[in-house]
Amino acid sequence: MYKTNSATPSKFGRPKSVLKAKPRFGGEKPVRHSFGGFKSSRPRFGGGGRFKSSNKRSRGERIDFSRFIKKGAYVEEKPYVALHTFLDFPFNSQLHKNIARAEYVHPRPIQDKAIPTILKGRDVFGMANTGTGKTAAFLLPLIEKIAQTKGQSKREIVLIMAPTRELALQIESDFKNLAFGFGMFSVACVGGLPIMRQISEIKRGVSFVVGTPGRLRDLIEKKVLDLSTCYSVVLDEADRMLDMGFQDDMVFILGKTATEKQTLFFSATLSPEVKKLTEKYLKEPVFISVISGETAKNIDQDVVRFKTKEEKLEKLHEVLKKDGSDKVLIFREMKHSVDTLAKELAQFGFKVGAIHGDKRSRERIRILESFKKDHINILIATDVAARGLDIPDVTHVINYDVPQTYDTYVHRIGRTGRSGKKGTALTFVPA
């Protein structure tokens, strides 16, 4: 079915109090506990989906915590030798200026492989993780496409679907930078932001519609969003949209687009559900993969064992006070537990922010920007809130709650140890 095309791809506020307890990293024989287990399919995490997943852990299943313990051997990342330069791509001169302004030097693997294929009008299935440059990989050729068709009697629309509002807003922000000077307009159709403003922008006329499935469907059903002239569709993080329960919405929305169109799927995995969608909606797609393995070789992976809630928090404090814990991403399963932990850490003098689905969009965006700009050095989040976000230079990923699946674990820890840098992943487990 697929043509294959693969490539290898100052300290912040510290608490004044000194806690004597130190975490025990490894050194013990890993034990198994019967409070949960890993399944091949993944559950929906809080927020965003239209139906609940039945994919819950059952009693009696066991997690092998030894999978969380792996010493990262420092591997100097070999620079990818691109087959093209950005100047090789037949882009409009203005687009080349925008690429230079964005300080893109050499195409990253997914860009090098996908851009020529998309420019040819081919359907693409791209396997790539967050932070691999896939947003520019589809935005650049689609901006070029719309620039060439601009002025036609019926305005063509490009539709980009993403699983979370943060990712959708990030994509639209990247679009505005790359489409500077073209006179193209976009709209971010996401929940948590005023729908009337989105309706107004759509009626005014837009070339790029970026949104989450739930809000996009609402706008279609309100007869506001007409996708009959949508000849280009991107599904970003397709696997996560399915995990979050958006399958019905995705199918509904795709059914409203033009029959003859170019369809681009990007996903970190090729699950059976994703494969079914590709077989239904992609025509003779080119398969591009820039995923080299399960977890990065540059990541030290370990467990921190605890007996009580008090000991668990104490050991987290010790980890955060260690030298090198400069930028820490902490994952929790529940929204209320995110807020609770943020308050506890703030009381000890740490500069911390928290994001989850119940926070207002503007507040989540503000906190994320503070984390990216190093105004805070600890971010606590649920999986859904953090999904798809490209946050550079994360030194530590901490699973304060054990992830529901190993696949989720891999997604989480992949936020550190990037670009040849060393990273640390710690998972807190009961003793």
Structure confidence by residue, pLDDT tens digits, 118-136 = 999 999 999 987 778 899 9
Give the tens place of pLDDT for each residue, 219-241.
Answer: 999 999 999 999 999 999 998 89
pLDDT of residue 57: 43
pLDDT band of 34, cuts 50, 70, 90 = very low
The Cα 174–Cα 171 span in angstroms is 5
pLDDT of residue 32: 34
| Cα dist from 129 to 107, 149, 356, 384, 388, whole Å | 16, 31, 21, 15, 8
Q: What is the architecture of the domain spanning 14-76+298-430?
A: 3-Layer(aba) Sandwich (3.40)
Average predicted confidence (pLDDT) for the chain: 81
pLDDT band of 420, cuts 50, 70, 90 = low
Greater confidence, 8 or 90? 90
Share of the chain above pLDDT 70, in %: 77
pLDDT of residue 151: 55
Q: What is the mean pLDDT of residues 155-173?
A: 91
pLDDT of residue 233: 98
Query: Is 86-289 assigned to CATH 3.40.50.300?
Result: yes
CATH 3.40.50.300-classified regions of the chain = 14-76+298-430, 86-289
Greater confidence, 404 or 43? 404
pLDDT of residue 72: 53
| 103 close to 131: Cβ distance less than 8 angstroms | no
pLDDT band of 1, cuts 50, 70, 90 = low
The Cα 144–Cα 375 span in angstroms is 36
